[in-house]
Amino acid sequence: MIIKERELSRHIRPSDYPELAVRMCDISTGAGADGMIVVRQDPALEMVFFNCDGSRAPMCGNGIRCFAHFCKREGIATEDSYSVKTLAGDMVVEVTCREPFRVKINMGKPLFSSDDIKVDFKGENYLLRNLTLDDGTDIEINSLFMGTIHTVVFMDNLESADIPKLGEEICNHPVFKEKTNVNFVKVVDHETLEVKTYERGVGMTLACGTGACASVLVANMQGRCGKQADVLLKLGKLSISIAEDGNVYMEGPSVRILDGKFY
């Protein structure tokens, strides 16, 4: 769900955006969405993203593709390549196809320090850990910052595992001071991953762009896939590539499903 800040400013203050996000994203009394995006144009083009629970997230991979599509359709961004300001840094957008709309985003480089992930682990550049669950079992996790905080869990039984329950428990585990997105990954082959994501502030989601990037990054670091891989999601596919300089690129579609007014 995307709104121009210039239109919002006539009716609502920025401090009220979190409450507005909750109301607009409500599936029963609002439009129903995982998040709300505010298009800020002054002093620079910026994507301001809120989860459906009203919390602000630094970045959203799916959101920035929708943001780019909206800006192209509304004439806000007339070039096919431009920069978008986010809390996770400036993201470079490149429109690769106008109809059907596809866009490639330079998502920047991953971060691996404990400070970036907001955990108490010390002295490690790459966080591969065993996490003890409520039932006493240990699960291997891989955590990093890729646009936002992500944890990657490799599984062979995505179909039979209770992903929503596991995702909620890992997301809210006390080791993560600011919670974490949780990506459950099945390696299909060396060029293909299947991913299901539990998002902090949202719950289970149909797709997560930053999560797809995080999943390919960790899989590549562990030799499970190459530097370029397709990520299969519930409603489609994203193409993720890791450049020699460490920057991660995400390419995928955006589809407009409705325009409307919220009262």
Find out whether 205 is annotated in a ligand binding site. no
Instruction: Record the tokens describing residue 192, joined without a space.
Output: 């293909």
Instruction: Look up 208 and say whether it is catalytic.
Output: yes
Cα separation of 5 and 135, whole Å?
46
Which residues lie below 8 Å from residue 245, measured CB to CB, with a gap of 6+? none
Give, in order, the Cα–Cα distances in Å from 199 to each of 151, 193, 195: 10, 18, 12
Find out whether 226 is annotated in a ligand binding site. no
Cα separation of 261 and 170, whole Å?
37
Tokens 């989860």 correspond to 51
Find out whether 129 is annotated in a ligand binding site. no
Q: What is the largest CA-CA distance in the chain?
A: 55
Find out whether 108 is annotated in a ligand binding site. no
Instruction: Record the tokens describing residue 137, joined without a space.
Output: 């079992």
Instruction: Look up 213 and say whether it is catalytic.
Output: no
Find out whether 7 is annotated in a ligand binding site. no
Find out whether 61 is annotated in a ligand binding site. yes
Catalytic residue among 52, 71, 171, 208: 208
Find out whether 6 is annotated in a ligand binding site. no
Find how far residue 79's CA is from the centre of its chain.
24
Find out whether 35 is annotated in a ligand binding site. no
Catalytic residue among 25, 52, 60, 71: 60
Which residues lie below 8 Å from residue 210, measured CB to CB, with a gap of 6+? 59, 60, 61, 107, 146, 147, 148, 150, 181
Q: What is the residue-wise DSSP string for 109-139?
A: --B--HHHHT----S-SSEEEEEE-TTS-EE
Catalytic amino acids? 60, 208
Binding residues: 51, 61-62, 181, 199-200, 209-210
Binding residues for substrate: 51, 61-62, 181, 199-200, 209-210
